[in-house]
Structure 1
């Protein structure tokens, strides 16, 4: 059963006592993204994934939407980089 978009969510909690991150998500993109990071999976269905991030995971993870830059903004950033490299 597919959840309506308004009910899809991702909850990420760090448990200090355990020293691990816990993820519980019903957002399909995050289910696919975090399935490989989880060591101990509590619940995995087509519509939900819940579990603890593996001890072997030594990096950090981020949940944010990528910025889309306009053509003008990309040109501004390129100019700033060229000036900085000249110094």
Structure 2
């Protein structure tokens, strides 16, 4: 094996290894230790739950807005106006 083939092989192995690290969520810290990206982070978990809840609420709001029943949308408009008048 000549030196150029060896260099190409090393680069290919490094590229494949970095793809696998990215796929399985492994990163290196500043000291070179590998850590999973999904480490136990309570703040990140709380944010994931909040995003999930907000997505569910958006689905409900989209359903309300795109509802084709005219009587229901008129009632919704009245409820919104009543809430505005309270403030």
Does TM-score exceed 0.5, indicating one fold? no
Q: TM-score, normalised by structure 1?
A: 0.27
Structure having the higher Rg: 2
Q: Give the number of the structure whose residues are more often helix, by fraction.
A: 2
Point out which structure has higher relative CO (alpha carbons under 8 A, 6+ apart): 1
Q: Give the number of the structure whose residues are more often strand, by fraction.
A: 1
